[in-house]
Structure 1
Amino acid sequence: MKKTQQGFTLIELMIVVAIIGILAAIAIPAYQDYTRRAQASELISVAAPVKTAVSEFAVVNGYLPNAGSVNFSSVSTDLVSGVTWNGGSISVTGSGQLSSLTISMDPTLNSGSVTWECNSSGSVEYAPSSCQ
């Protein structure tokens, strides 16, 4: 009587483990890059209240505010070490894995409306595409 094979051989299992290892070696760095990019987008959203305060001041008064003219509560999170308005630009500095990333937003007042230009320095590969 002939015995039929039941289950997998050791070679087959080793091949499957090798394939899973190769896929993990590709997927894990891609996922880490994705999460850093997603975290960097928080830097822009944290600056939104400051952008609103600066825009409102500029529309009401007809000029951009000085460094101390805008009231906003400074935000500090796990990913953001600070937000500052220096009278010409909003600077948001990252913390943790994004500590070398700084996003600056520069306003321009034209005919009663404020437009913003976003720039980044440091780890610019993680900055949103609108700020690179």
Structure 2
Amino acid sequence: MKKNLQKGFTLIELMIVVAIIAILAAIAIPAYQNYVAKSQFSESQTVADGIKTAVAEFWTQNGKCPELGTDKSFPSAAASYAGKYVASADIATGTAAKDPTCDIEVTFKTTSVSKGLQGKKALFKGSENGGNFAWACTSDADQKYLPQACQTP
């Protein structure tokens, strides 16, 4: 008598494979979303970098911070510094009495950007320090989306 051999997978085996895939997806998807948000945040640094050199140069030549629309080398609309995820970038003067700063405030869009960054701001504080212009980064976005340079200890 010939014995019939089974070919294929049993229902239990298939359910185990589906469970393993579900567990891997539950771990991978949030990590990927954080990675995407971090990469989107990096656009704020790129936009600010485009302004930093001009601000430092203006400070060196004039001894004050530039103003959008008032000074020739800076366009009047903050939206002219927009990007794919960045809505605008604005230049403001910090009000510290002893140590005034030239601040670049970058605002993220409210749509088409990760939820953790929607409408959030990144602030790049520039200050003159003995002939050098130094920049510090802060943000109101969650710390897990920020690069090391912008995280508070």
Q: Is the 8 A contact 1:108 1:116 kept in 2?
A: yes
Q: Is the 8 A contact 1:90 1:106 kept in 2?
A: yes
Equivalent of residue 111 in structure 1, options 130, 135, 147: 130
Structure 2 unaligned runs (5+)? 94-101
Name the SS of the counterpart of 1:89 in structure 2.
strand
Name the SS of the counterpart of 1:78 in structure 2.
coil
- How high is the TM-score relative to the length of structure 2? 0.76
Partner of 2:29: 28
Q: Is the 8 A contact 2:34 2:144 kept in 1?
A: no
Aligned residues: 131
Q: Indicate how the Cα distance of structure 1 residues 123 and 72 shifts in structure 2: closer, same or farther if over 3 A, else same.
A: farther
| Mean Cα deviation higher: 17-26 or 74-83 | 74-83
For residue 94 of structure 1, what is the amino acid of its counterpart?
Answer: F
Q: For each residue in 1:16-75, what CA deviation from the matched residue of structure 2 results, as whole angstroms up to 9, or x when unmatched?
A: 0111111111111111111011101111111112101111112334x2324243733522
Equivalent of residue 77 in structure 1, options 72, 83, 86: 83
Q: CA RMSD of the aligned region, Å?
A: 1.8
Q: Is the 8 A contact 1:54 1:65 kept in 2?
A: yes
Name the SS of the counterpart of 1:5 in structure 2.
coil
- Say whether 1:102 aligns with 2:121: yes
Q: 2: CA distance between counterparts of 1:71 and 1:102?
A: 24
- How high is the TM-score relative to the length of structure 1? 0.87
For residue 109 of structure 1, what is the amino acid of its counterpart?
Answer: E
Q: Indicate how the Cα distance of structure 1 residues 125 and 69 shifts in structure 2: closer, same or farther if over 3 A, else same.
A: farther
Q: 2: CA distance between counterparts of 1:24 and 1:49?
A: 38
Q: For each residue in 1:67-116, what CA deviation from the matched residue of structure 2 results, as whole angstroms up to 9, or x when unmatched?
A: 24373352223311110001331000111332232111111112322111
Query: Segments of 4+ in structure 1 off by > 4 A?
Result: none
Q: 1: CA distance between counterparts of 2:17 and 2:5?
A: 22
Q: 1: CA distance between counterparts of 2:55 and 2:6?
A: 74
